[in-house]
Amino acid sequence: MLGASQYEIDRLVFQGEVWRSMTDGLFEKLGVKSGWKCLDVGAGIGTVALPLAERVGNEGEVTAVEAIPLYAATLREELARKNIENVRVFEGDLRRFKVPRGAYDLIFARWVFSFLPDVERCLRHLVPGLKPGGALAIEDYHHLGCAYYPNRPSFDAVIEGARRWYGKTGGNYRVAGELPAIYYKLGLKDVEVVPHLRVGRPDSALWKWGELFFLGHLQTMIRERVVTLDEAKRFKRDLQAIKKIRGAMFVVPVIFDVIGRR
Ligand SMILES: C[S@@+](CC[C@H](N)C(=O)[O-])C[C@H]1O[C@@H](n2cnc3c(N)ncnc32)[C@H](O)[C@@H]1O
């Protein structure tokens, strides 16, 4: 849905920095440690796979599954450049990845399942890869809550447009809310949801992250007919204008960590 481009690579790098503490917190909570074998599904350019590889050390291993060749190649280059030997890259769709049975301590995915049309089928494919007691941990959107203040009609128009865009490409911007029931259906236990709700001022990294997403993908949203040209123009103008207002803020879409154990 977001396409493969240098812009998107740069956005993923920045996103990796902004959200590193959230994902590190999840790994701390799960007790990820040296020797763990992990699967990072939809790994992008490796913004999670690389710190995860450091955490599991040379005794452990991370397999990064990534469908977009440009991203997989970027990750491979980074691994070679940094001499990292405990990350394997599978280039291709996750549904084509031959999942070894009972192999992983952790199967992880961040912002991948909201793009997928067949979430339950994908999870049915992945879950047998967990060791008994192994964790499935997904970080994704329960997108409700996202807003800019002081509010303007153009903000809601573009945010709603982005949500329709997820739907149009077969995804679900509220996927994280659906996951717990699917986890139980697939036989996982100890299912837990940890919500993240953040707000950022115009000078914050969170604001910039939101801007990179919405402004960077406005043209595509117009092309996809989920936003009109007029709404896009107003959005740009209004966003620029409210930045100067003291008290302006971006409410980040709600993210859930959804954890379950085999
Ligand atoms: C928004 S990016 C997130 C990347 C990374 N997880 C992160 O948090 O920075 C979503 C990634 O999932 C990948 N992806 C989406 N559907 C996939 C599939 N069916 N199989 C493998 N990768 C997929 C995309 O190519 C993209 O790199």
Q: Across residues 10-38, what is the average pLDDT?
A: 96
Q: Across residues 26-54, what is the average pLDDT?
A: 98
d(CA 189, CA 134): 10
Strand-by-strand arrangement of the 199-200 sheet: 147-149, 249-251, 199-200
**pLDDT band, residue 1 (cuts 50/70/90):** low
As beta bridge partners, residue 255 has 141, 196
Q: Across residues 212-232, what is the average pLDDT?
A: 95
Q: 69 vs 3, 76, 203, 230, CA distance in Å? A: 12, 10, 34, 35
C-alpha 93 – ligand 1 centre gap (Å): 9
90 CB-near residues (< 8 Å, 6+ apart): 63, 64, 65, 66, 97
- Lookup: tokens for 51: 């710190």
C-alpha 113 – ligand 1 centre gap (Å): 8
Mean per-residue pLDDT over the chain, rounded: 96
Using only the alpha carbons of the chain, give its radius of gyration. Answer: 19
pTM above 0.85, yes or no: yes
Atom number in ligand 1 closest to CA 65: 21
Which pLDDT score, from 0 to 100, does residue 4 have?
78
**pLDDT band, residue 225 (cuts 50/70/90):** very high
What are the pLDDT digits (tens) for 41-56?
A: 999 999 999 999 999 9
d(CA 221, CA 225): 6
- DSSP-assigned letter for residue 35: T
What are the pLDDT digits (tens) for 95-131?
A: 999 999 999 999 999 999 999 999 999 999 999 999 9
pLDDT of 8 over the 90 cut: no
CB 24 within 8 A of CB 16: no
Check whether domain 6-261 has CATH 3.40.50.150, yes or no: yes
pLDDT of 11 over the 90 cut: no
d(CA 81, CA 155): 41
**pLDDT band, residue 2 (cuts 50/70/90):** low
What are the pLDDT digits (tens) for 159-209?
A: 999 999 999 989 999 999 999 999 999 999 999 999 999 999 999 999 999
- Lookup: tokens for 67: 């469908």
- Lookup: tokens for 9: 């690579």
| pLDDT more than 70, % of the chain | 99
Per-domain boundaries in the chain:
6-261
d(CA 208, CA 226): 22
Top mutation candidate among 1, 50, 87, 115 for ligand 1, by most atoms within 8 Å of CB? 115
- Lookup: tokens for 168: 């149009």
C-alpha 66 – ligand 1 centre gap (Å): 6
